[in-house]
Amino acid sequence: MQVPLPNSPEKLFYIEREEPGYIPVEAIPEEYLQLILPYAGVYFERDEHCDMLSQHIQVGPFSFWIQETYANADLILCPFTPRPTWALHFMYETSVNVELYEDISFSLEEKECNLFNLVSDLHKVPMEDGQKLTSCHINILPEALRELAVEYPALRRLAGKTPANVTGPINEHPYFINSVCDLLIQKMLTCRHIEMPAHCFLYRCCLDLFMNFAYQDAHAAQRYLVDDALHSITFGQLFEYLTDHAHLNHTLEELGTMFQLDQTTLRKGFLKNFGMPIDAYIKMTKMIMVFELLTKKSTKLSEIALAAGYKSWQQLDKAFTAYYGCDLEQLRRAM
């Protein structure tokens, strides 16, 4: 466990801000430009101790942050939010220990996710010379999550939690970043859309991440049995197949035959491994495919509908509008 040295410099690390104060992209060093999302507001700080790059996108009630810190010396990051909020946090690249309070610490482990209740206290995160910290988090006010839960019942249990007025995880134990969450985050980190298309796409990704976490939290006590271990490789292969073949249409019976899984094992196992029903994941991959195909303006809407398995573009438009909150023609005009 890293222990902060008495003489280590402390660096204020904003995980939320009251008012945006973005800097021009021209002020970002050239080596970081490839990381910048076109729709993001950017913050950058550099001194002899570290480089700190933060990108922020506000999509409805979701405040999405990508933050990277490159330590050039031993230092102590001091995470701070000017107002209380909840943060769904995904840890990449490294693991760090967070000193929440004098006698309370929490370990942020690589490839784990947590939902934090954050209050306006300063905390300490020791970093070593040469260490890189990459984290993604989606902040939301508790009351905004409760409003979302009215429309999306899967969020009700999570939104109904009432943590103590201190900074700390709301979930009892951390959860691994499963394949669905990792896919959504990678789609967000590589999103090249701007304005309305970016808003629609990223909003849905944030919503799906919260609903996936809500399922994991609601089923944290579920046991993994021998059959789960025996089928883990098969479900990994199934996930990759569905992700890479969103343009193909299969019934669940066909998928069960292809991967030698009975219907009960197929449905329950997929949900258990990936935090969402298999039919919902198939729809998600098709909607993402449709979104990407819309950028190719030479492709007709009728052709996109056919590729997604819909009888007409009007039928697809109805499903797409319900999913992303914008219709196909509206979105294509904005691209």
What per-residue string of b and e applies to 111-139 under the rule 16 or more CB within 10 Å gives b?
ebbbbbbbeeeebbbbbeeebebbbbbbb
Quote the strand ranges of 5-103, DSSP E: 10-14, 41-46, 50-59, 62-71, 75-80, 85-92, 96-101
On the CB side of 310, how many CA atoms lie within 13 Å of its CA?
19
pLDDT value at residue 1:
45
Q: pTM higher than 0.75, yes or no?
A: yes
Distance in angstroms (rounded) separating the CA atoms of residues 294 and 186: 19
The answer to whether 79 and 119 have CB atoms below 8 angstroms apart is no
Distance in angstroms (rounded) separating the CA atoms of residues 327 and 320: 7
pLDDT value at residue 263:
95
CATH fold for domain 217-334: Arc Repressor Mutant, subunit A (1.10.10)
pLDDT value at residue 102:
79
**Residue matched to tokens 């000193």:** 99
Distance in angstroms (rounded) separating the CA atoms of residues 236 and 244: 12
The answer to whether 79 and 12 have CB atoms below 8 angstroms apart is no
Residues of the chain with CATH 1.10.10.60: 217-334
Predicted confidence (pLDDT) per residue in 265-311, tens digit: 999 999 999 999 999 999 999 999 999 999 988 899 999 999 999 99
Residues of the chain with CATH 2.60.120.10: 10-177
What tokens were used for 201? 């796409």
Is 3.30.465.10 the CATH number for 10-177? no
The pLDDT tens digits along the chain (335 residues) read: 455 556 789 999 999 999 999 999 999 999 999 999 999 999 999 999 999 999 999 999 999 999 999 999 999 999 999 999 999 999 998 899 998 887 888 899 999 999 999 999 999 999 999 999 998 999 999 999 999 999 999 999 999 999 999 999 999 999 999 999 999 999 999 999 999 999 999 999 999 999 999 999 999 887 665 466 678 899 999 999 999 999 998 999 999 999 999 999 999 999 999 999 999 999 999 999 999 999 988 899 999 999 999 999 999 999 999 999 999 999 999 98
pLDDT value at residue 272:
93
What per-residue string of b and e applies to 271-297 under the rule 16 or more CB within 10 Å gives b?
bbbbbbebebbbbbbbbbbbbebbeee
Q: Give the three-class secondary structure for 170.
A: coil
pLDDT value at residue 225:
58
Supply the DSSP string of 194-206, one letter for each residue. -HHHHHHHHHHHH
